[in-house]
Amino acid sequence: MSFREKSAWVSLITYGVVFGGYFFTLWQAWDESYAQGLSIGLMVGAVVALIIVAIVLNTVIALFHPRTANAPADERETAIDLKAERIASYTLSIGVIFLIGALLIGWNAFLVANLLLASMVVSELVKALAQIAYFRTA
């Protein structure tokens, strides 16, 4: 498994665990006034946790790939990145279009903000999954 495939796994796991935890906690505490107060601290915590976990895991896998960790992506890896990014952008666009509609019909802004965050997280998960699938098959 190449460094970049492992890095895609790291992205999949960190986004899944950190934001899975964030949304699960928020869902359990779903009472609008309470959840809104909780959400800001949780969101900051989730972003900080994401950064720390991603740095630590990427550093660990880089130690096992000293030659390739700092090397630029080759042409196949670049092509895989672009294809995965395209699929992720479609995913995010669908979420954003849906949420624009939700705002226009008067959905709660706090709920829409979190659904927007969920769209971004899902698009990152889709990107990582697409990268892994392409690394395995292309």
Residues that bind another protein (CB under 8 A): 2, 5, 68, 74-77, 135, 137-138
Q: Tell the smallest beta-carbon distance from residue 8 to another protein (Å).
A: 13
Place of tokens 């700092």: 70
Closest approach of Cβ 119 to another protein, in Å? 31
Of the pair 2, 25, the CB lying nearest another protein is at 2
Q: How far apart are CA 78 and CA 122, in angstroms?
A: 22
Residue 122, CA distances (Å) to 16, 55, 56, 89, 99 in order: 9, 20, 22, 10, 14
Residue 76 or residue 86: which is nearer to another protein going by CB?
76
Residue 112: closest CA among 97, 99, 98, 93:
99
Q: CB–CB of 128/11 below 8 Å?
A: yes
Q: How far is the CB of 121 from another protein (least distance, A)?
A: 28
Closer to another protein by Cβ: residue 28 or 70: 70
Shortest distance (Å) from residue 71 CB to another protein: 8
CB-nearer residue toward another protein: 58 or 68: 68
DSSP string, 35-69: HHHHHHHHHHHHHHHHHHHHHHHHHHHHHH-TTTT
